[in-house]
Amino acid sequence: MRLSRYFLPVLKENPSEAQIVSHRLMLRAGMIKQAAAGIYSWLPMGFKVLRKLENIIHEEQARAGHIAIQMPIIQSADLWRESGRYDDYGQEMLRMKDRHDRDMLFTPTAEELVTDIFRGHVNSYKDLPLTLYQIQWKFRDEIRPRFGVMRGREFYMKDGYNFDLTKEDALHAYNRHLVTYLRTYERMGLQAIPMRADSGPIGGDNTHEFLVLADTGESEVFYDSAVTDLSFGDRQIDYDDRAQCQAILEEFTSKYARTDETHDEALFNQVPEDRRRVARGIEVGQIFYFGTKYSEAMGATVQGPDGKPTPVHMGSHGIGVSRLIGAIIEASHDDKGIIWPEGVTPFHCGIVNLKQGDDEADAACDKLYGALTALGLEPLYDDRNERAGGKFATMDLIGLPWRITVGPRGLKNGVVELTCRRTGESEELSPEAAVTKVAEIYEQFI
């Protein structure tokens, strides 16, 4: 993409309404625009990052054998009355009536709807296990939306639902989801710590939240610092191997890590004093096992091996896709702007032409642009007739991990400058070597 043809409405000044870094930088970098309180339009660069995260989630869900569907945003209230949640959910649920005076609602979550799909099509235990998921816009009418996409009313969410014959089978699905989430977050450049949490209106006894440590996090968290030394890495996982999935769950949840709702001071005091940490965290996902809560209420049964109808055991599993962008920025920025991890960056590399209109510089930039594109990379070429300082400021603000700077002086010596956004370190390379190095950096991400 050439910046002269792209829609990137960057702001020079900090917006007065933005209270935290991610909200401020998303507005300044032209990623979002507020449409109403807690509701945003996603502009091209923000939308591009949203799609990057979505693709990673789809890939990891498919790896675990989970199946994507798409459910409607508007649901019938009758399903929620069946489960008993319609009156319990509270004012966060946006309720409405259609022209026939039927009670409807804008989806805050979809346990009832997916249970209705299941009970209409699955009759035998032989069709289990089954996990369905979607990535879809949701709405919760927050009383005080704030912090941009971190606490909005409309949000983009991955929500998955498992159906299993027994509790043991469902707990394996729970473990399997924990493993997929660890992989997903690490691919996004995040360390998301699973913490024992409260189930809230979803229900159930088994639940973990995944939290990214950040000073602006809404949750107070208590943890053993040893959990921050854990890394999933490049492990090869057999998702059907119950022992392997259970071992990973134990590895990542055996050390103390809890949100304030489930914090146990006595247990926390058993952690060695030099490893006790109290901090704040941003919730980016949660997994639940809630047994037969919905299947019994809504008649979601299968014929068991004994021929008798058996209510299925269920769980649900969510990732806040839109809020993840805010979490990534909160965890990865400096005073100049965003610093995107390579796995989720909207463009792989920026190209800055220091002297637009100079035949040699223009030709060199065009050649770099073509070479990177031919390798399957997406460069953003700043071909505007702007001052060099303004171009550098824009690149720093939008946070592309790597920048190639091209100018007449360097070209006379046969070199361009390759700069790492995270460290600020630069090196002079031939244009061909710069392309090769950028391609090597992204080999594991493409």
Residue pLDDT, tens place only, 222-236: 999 999 999 999 999
Asked if the model's pLDDT at residue 96 lies above 80, the reply is yes
Residue 313: its pLDDT value, please? 97
Q: Tell whether omega for the bond before 346 is within 30 degrees of 0, i.e. cis.
A: no
3-state secondary structure of 307: coil
Asked if the model's pLDDT at residue 201 lies above 60, the reply is no
Comparing 15-19, 73-77, 193-197, 331-335, which segment has the lowest mean pLDDT? 15-19
Residue 203: its pLDDT value, please? 47
Residue of 115 and 19 predicted with greater confidence:
115
Q: Parallel, antiparallel, or unpaired for β 74-76 and 103-106?
A: antiparallel
Residue 29: its pLDDT value, please? 97
Asked if the model's pLDDT at residue 198 lies above 80, the reply is no
Place of tokens 């979550």: 109
Neighbours of 126 (CB within 10 A): 10
Q: Looking at residues 184-200, what average pLDDT do you find?
A: 87
pLDDT per residue over 280-301, tens digit each?
Answer: 999 999 999 999 999 999 999 9
Element containing residue 410 per DSSP (H, E): helix 408-412
pLDDT per residue over 247-271, tens digit each?
Answer: 999 999 999 999 988 899 999 999 9
Q: Looking at residues 209-219, what average pLDDT do you find?
A: 89
Residue 51: its pLDDT value, please? 97
Instruction: Decide if 160 contacts 318 (C-beta within 8 A).
Output: yes
Residue 106: its pLDDT value, please? 94
Asked if the model's pLDDT at residue 69 lies above 70, the reply is yes
Report the candidate in 134, 136, 106, 138 with the shortest Cα–Cα distance to residue 38. 138
Share of the chain above pLDDT 90, in %: 89
Instruction: Decide if 282 contacts 216 (C-beta within 8 A).
Output: yes
Q: Parallel, antiparallel, or unpaired for β 206-213 and 276-291?
A: antiparallel
Q: Looking at residues 32-41, what average pLDDT do you find?
A: 95
d(CA 130, CA 113): 15
Rounded (10°) CA dihedral 203, 209, 214, 215: 30
Helices (H) and strands (E) in the chain, counts: 13, 23
Q: Looking at residues 240-251, what average pLDDT do you find?
A: 96
Residue boundaries of the structural domains of the chain: 8-337, 347-443
Q: What is the CATH number of domain 347-443?
A: 3.40.50.800
Q: What is the CATH number of domain 8-337?
A: 3.30.930.10
Share of the chain above pLDDT 70, in %: 98
Report the candidate in 250, 127, 11 with the shortest Cα–Cα distance to residue 23. 11
What is the number of alpha carbons within 13 Å of residue 192 lying toward its C-beta? 27
SS (H, E, C) 338-352: ECCCCCCCCCCEEEE
What is the phi-psi region of residue 355: left when phi exceeds 0, alpha when psi lies from -120 to 50, beta otherwise? beta
Residue 428: its pLDDT value, please? 96
Asked if the model's pLDDT at residue 78 lies above 80, the reply is yes
What is the number of alpha carbons within 13 Å of residue 39 lying toward its C-beta? 9
Residue 320: burial class (beta carbons within 10 Å; 0-12, 13-18, 19+) = buried
pLDDT band with cut points at 50, 70 and 90 for residue 205 = low
